[in-house]
Amino acid sequence: MHPILPELRSLALGEIRATGWLRDQLRLAAAGQTGRLAEIWADVGPDNAWLGGTGDDWERGPYYADGLLPLAHVLADEQLLAAANGWVEGILGSQRDDGWFGPGSNDDWWPRMVALKVLIQHADATGDERVPPFLERYFRYQLDHLPGRPLEGWGQARGAENALCVHWLHDRTRQAWLLDLADLLKDQTLDWSGYLTAGLITGPADHFDHHSHVVNVAMGLKADAVWYLRDRDPAYRDATARAYANLYRHHGLVHEQFSGDEWLAGRSPSRGVETCAVVEHMFTLEHLARVYGDPGYADRLEQLAYNTLPAALTADMTAHQYHQQANQVLVNVAHRHWTMSGDDANVFGLEPHFGCCTANLHQGWPKFVASLWARAAAPADGLTALAYGPCRVDTAVAGVPVALEEETAYPFEQSVTVHVQPRQPVRFALRLRVPGWCRHPRVRVNDKPVDAPAGPAFALIDRTWTAGDRVQVELPAGVRPLPRDNGATGLALGPLVLSLAVGERWQPIPGAPGLGDWEVAPAGPWNFGLALPPTVDGELPLPVTRRPVSRVPFALDGAPVQVTVPGRRVPGWQLAENSAGPLPPSPAAADGATAQLRLVPYGSARIRVTEFPQVAQLS
């Protein structure tokens, strides 16, 4: 039997705490839809069946707990911890003698997979000794009953989530029968790499199929990396890479998330991306980056965390969208060209279109914080910066307590300082991700330069660390073009995708539930093409201005990064079915004077253009 030794392991939940602007962002979640959901939305209120009531008995309770619990731990917030513990006790208290658990009114395997993920996070954070035997009893029940009542529907699409939790227990107990269960779950789960590499739909889906459901795809992308835990066959790693390449070829959008509104929807920047797909894809990428030890997946993770995740909610995090668009020029209740969604799917609110995202969005930020750092798998030890953001780490390496203080306004700036504070001198390897967009990183230890490779890679510093050591990481990069179909382009600066700040007129929808529903209209014209200067060494010589990050980090007012770019109106580019119409091929026919356009981070603009036609400079 091969031991299960992933390249990297997560730190225990709670060992990484958000600081700086990232803490401000999480406090907004705590004060907004996440912290207040139980009081404004009955589906996760005290009558939820997972809490012993007669209300929703399916996925919504576990979904909510799967985000509330890690948020409570990364903020160390007593009130949120108490609320999260209520869900944990509800789950733990529902187990029967035969191992089955959860609401008696619902026998679906799928919501229990989410509940398992809640429990393993809880156990990681608290060491609660009730969790391993609870899991053991349930997994024995599954081994007995899955042959006669196999996974179906959502559970069949998402069986890798179940197997992930089986591996968690196997890591601790090494019981061989758990691997039999992992094999059984694999046999009963959809063949994701088979579909994504050889059977993928190549344009917008026109009928329901679990394979082309965007949230299933976002979760299914991790399946091979879960099966890889079983025997470490490198073929799984290759299959994941091929699945990504094919998926992005047919459904990749300018901001590095694939489309799905709510089925796979092709490459148009007016197609939607469901919020559940954003947060589930992030969780998948956190797993892929650790299991494969691959910095490229961490690049993708940052791009979601710092673009599509904040864009899915209002800046104050009191309302969210079901679908966001890369080119989002009108947010209102109106018919749009979705594969399958109602007319309210792009408004900001409590439950636009359907409540899955209302329940599920909360995992995005806290699981990202918990994944900023990882540790090398045994027998090696050491710490790895997988993604960057202001945080503090309190852990132990080689038995020595070590604190790391990561000071940065990343991604709004591209330098990071890590203060290393071991209780006593200790030797270990510190690995620092160099993103794929950075070719000339500069890394110094106590002001002394050390070698750092071009990205995507890890810079390795293996030394004896003593209190007061300081690592400075600079990841210089200018504005780079993001080439798109028919000569169109997007722009990015480091991990930030840039969007035209059109300006926004917010209008409350009368009588809305919760903390309000909102339509948003553009405050000015949006149909601009870009007149880009020639690139220099792959980068565009465009002026960048930076400002301190405010207490509402992804607000449009005071956006911390701005880029100015010349552009001209493209009069032939107009609304179609209440979205920006198809981009005219580039170079597009332009009109009028050249304007200096203000671009801001994608996540700061709720009315925006992100994929542009190119136009000629007015000479």
Interacting residues toward Zn ion by CB under 5 A: 274, 276, 356-357
* Nearest CB to Zn ion, comparing residues 69 and 215: 215
Judged by beta carbon, residue 310 or residue 455, the one nearer Zn ion is 310
Q: Between residues 123 and 312, which has the closer beta carbon with respect to Zn ion?
A: 312
Nearest approach in angstroms of CB 516 to Zn ion is 19
Cα gap 345→74, rounded to integer Å: 31
Nearer to Zn ion, 44 or 356 (CB): 356
Q: How far is the CB of 275 from Zn ion (least distance, A)?
A: 6
Between residues 22 and 215, which has the closer beta carbon with respect to Zn ion? 215
Instruction: Report in angstroms how near the CB of residue 324 gets to Zn ion at its nearest.
Output: 12
Long-range contacts of 515-518 (CB under 8 A, 24+ apart): 515/32, 515/33, 515/36, 515/40, 515/318, 515/319, 515/350, 516/318, 516/319, 516/349, 516/350, 517/319, 517/347, 517/348, 517/349, 517/350, 517/352, 518/314, 518/319, 518/331, 518/347, 518/348, 518/349
Within 13 A of 469's CA, how many CA atoms are on the CB side? 22
> 596 forms bridges with which residues in the sheet?
566
In the bound complex, what is the minimum distance in angstroms from residue 578's beta carbon to Zn ion? 21
Task: Name the residue nearer to Zn ion (CB basis): 322 or 465.
Answer: 322
CB of 67 to Zn ion, least distance (A): 13
The per-residue b/e assignment along 405-421, b for 16 or more CB within 10 angstroms, e otherwise, is bbbbbbbbebebebebb
CA distance 102 to 142: 14
Q: Shortest approach of Zn ion to residue 56 CB, angstroms?
A: 15
The residue sitting closest to Zn ion, measured at its beta carbon, is: 276
Smallest gap, in angstroms, from Cβ of residue 112 to Zn ion?
A: 19
Which tokens go with 33?
Answer: 């839809």
Q: Is 592 left (phi over 0), alpha (psi -120 to 50) or beta?
A: left
Q: How far is the CB of 285 from Zn ion (least distance, A)?
A: 18
Looking up tokens 């409570």 gives 72
Q: Which is nearer to Zn ion, 357 or 600 (CB)?
A: 357
C-beta of 276 vs 438, nearer to Zn ion? 276
Strands (E), 316-435: 323-325, 373-376, 382-385, 391-397, 400-407, 415-422, 426-434
CB of 360 to Zn ion, least distance (A): 6
Tokens of 87: 């869900």
Query: Which of helix, strand or coil describes residue 82?
Result: helix
**Sole residue written with tokens 């405010």:** 550
Q: Which residue lies nearer to Zn ion by CB, 313 or 500?
A: 313
Amino acid at 170: H
**Helix-then-strand count for the chain, H and E:** 18, 26
- Cα–Cα dist 164/6, whole Å: 12
- What separation in angstroms does the CA of 108 have from each of 101, 102, 214, 287, 499? 11, 10, 21, 25, 42
CA distance 129 to 420: 32
Please identify, using beta-carbon distances, which residue of 74 and 357 lies nearer to Zn ion. 357
CB of 328 to Zn ion, least distance (A): 17
